Every structure is written in structure tokens, then in C-alpha cells.
């Protein structure tokens, strides 16, 4: 857990933290990247998500509640120092991208502010990894300003009943029984993780 200035050991009854995509980017992530605003964003822990396994991450969350969604600021991880290729492996497995990036825009201006990536955690190593129920959205900001720190914002959730089915390479026609009415795998992830739920609920 980070050494935030405001502790959040537990949430009061009836409390939930459910920011919209735009609030995650234009408020929390932007302030985190600008630096000097720890008191404004201390509700989200700073954790290198690839230094822990997904089942360890909930215990590192600033808020301990009955919610099954957890948020983290994570420094960008790169495979090579001279190339910006993301590193998404842990000791036990790896995060695999699924579906296409989605563009997040500010509602008031329509300006692109981030790209959202969907990932699923696999135990083991490619190509023999075993899919787990851990899924994550990774928000990558597209805005730039001076002296910014290099972070992404991660939204983590575990599917406890194993209803979601993922195919190598993303959605396909073979997934019709799991994703009816032409709903794609990423649409299913959107519905499962929740989108635009409101800041506090």
C-alpha cells in the first residue's frame, strides 16, 4: 500500500467508489501524472500491477470494502529500455490483451483523452497459458503536459462464476453461444467491469 496522506482502511456502509471513465482520466489520472496532488487522488493506490499476482492486488487497495472492483495507478512497464513495448508478465503468468482499444472522450468537448485496453490474466507462459477469471481495463492517457509522471490507471475485477469465455485473439464467430446477439467479447467485458457508473454511489 502506498504512503498516501489520507488513509482509507474501510468504506462506510452503503459507500461505493464508482467513477466514470472520464472522471478516472480527467480527474484522478491527470492529477496523479501532474504530481503534487496526492491528497486529491489518495483514494487510489499506487501499485506496480506486474510486481504482484492479480489475486494479491485487492489487498493492496486503499479502500477495503465489499466492492469487487479495485483501482490502481501503475507505473508503465516496458520490456526494453529503448522501446516502448509494454511488459505485462508476472512471476505466475501474464496479462493478455483482448479486443480492440477503445477511445475515451471528454463528454463536453469530444476530445480524445485516453485509450482503454481490455486484458485477461493467464497463468503460465505463452503459448500454454491457462486463462483465469481475472480481468482488467488499462487506461492509457493520450494528453500531454510538461513534467508529467508516466502512469496508467488499472481497473481490476474477478469473475467469480467463470461465465465469461475468451478466445485467443479476441472475439470470433465461435463465441456466438457465449456472446449472443452479436455482443463482442469486449462489450461483455465492458458490461462486467461497469462503465459510466457515477463518481460515488
Asked whether residue 1 is domain-assigned, the answer is no
27-45 tens-digit pLDDT: 999 999 998 898 999 999 9
Predicted pLDDT of residue 32: 94
Q: How confident is the model at residue 148 (pLDDT cuts 50, 70, 90)?
A: confident
Tell me, yes or no, whether 42 lies in a domain.
yes
Summarised one tens digit per residue, pLDDT across range 174-192 is: 333 333 444 445 554 555 4
In a domain, 5, yes or no: no
> Range of 94's domain?
21-193
Mean pLDDT value across residues 107-123: 96
pLDDT tier at 3, thresholds 50, 70, 90: very low
In tens, the pLDDT along 53-75 reads: 999 999 999 988 778 899 999 99
Q: Over the chain, what HEC string results?
A: CCCCCCCCCCCCCCCCECCCHHHHHHHHHHHHHHCCCHHHHCCCEECCHHHCCHHHHHHHCCCCCCCCEEEEEEECCEEECCEEEECCECCCEEEEEEEEEEEEECCCCCCEEEEEEEEEEEECCCCCCEEEEEEEEEEEECCCCCCCCCEEEEEEEECCCCCCCCCCCCCCHHHCCCCCCCCCHHHHHHHHHCCCCCCEC
Q: Residue 131 to residues 128, 168, 182: CA-CA distances in angstroms?
A: 10, 10, 23
Q: What is the mean pLDDT of residues 6-24?
A: 74
Q: Contact, 86 vs 79, CB < 8 A?
A: yes
Give the number of domains in the chain: 1
- Is 168 or 48 the better-scoring residue by pLDDT? 48
**pLDDT tens digits, 123-141:** 999 999 999 999 999 999 9
Residue 179 within any structural domain of the chain: yes
pLDDT of residue 74: 96
2 located within any domain: no
For 82-113, the pLDDT digits (tens) are 567 788 999 999 999 999 999 999 999 999 99
What is the CATH classification number for the domain harbouring 91? 2.170.150.80
In this prediction the pTM is 0.75
- The pLDDT of residue 77 is 77
Per the listing, cell 477469471 goes with 133
Residue 10 domain flag? no
pLDDT range class, residue 195, cuts 50, 70, 90: very low
Within-domain flag for 112:
yes
| Radius of gyration from C-alpha coordinates of the chain | 17
Question: Would 52 be classed as within a structural domain?
Answer: yes
Amino acid at each position: 500500500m502506498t504512503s498516501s496522506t489520507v488513509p482509507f482502511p474501510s468504506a462506510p456502509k452503503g459507500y461505493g467508489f464508482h467513477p466514470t471513465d472520464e472522471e478516472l482520466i480527467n480527474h484522478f489520472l491527470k492529477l496523479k501524472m501532474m504530481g503534487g496532488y496526492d491528497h486529491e487522488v489518495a483514494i487510489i493506490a499506487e501499485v506496480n500491477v506486474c510486481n504482484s499476482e492479480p489475486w494479491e492486488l485487492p489487498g493492496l487497495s486503499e479502500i477495503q470494502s465489499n466492492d469487487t472492483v479495485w483501482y490502481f495507478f501503475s507505473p508503465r512497464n516496458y520490456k526494453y529500455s529503448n522501446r516502448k513495448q509494454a511488459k505485462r508478465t508476472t512471476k505466475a503468468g501474464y496479462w493478455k490483451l483482448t479486443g480492440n482499444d477503445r477511445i475515451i472522450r471528454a463528454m463536453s468537448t469530444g476530445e480524445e483523452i485516453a485509450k482503454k485496453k481490455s486484458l485477461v490474466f493467464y497463468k503460465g507462459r505463452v503459448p500454454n497459458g491457462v486463462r483465469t477469471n481475472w480481468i482488467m481495463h488499462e487506461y492509457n492517457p493520450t494528453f500531454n503536459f510538461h513534467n508529467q509522471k508516466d502512469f496508467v490507471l488499472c481497473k481490476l475485477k474477478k469473475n467469480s462464476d467463470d461465465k465469461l469465455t475468451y478466445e485467443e485473439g479476441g472475439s470470433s464467430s465461435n463465441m456466438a453461444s457465449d456472446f449472443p446477439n452479436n455482443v463482442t467479447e469486449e462489450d461483455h467485458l465492458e458490461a462486467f467491469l461497469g462503465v459510466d457508473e457515477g463518481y460515488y454511489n
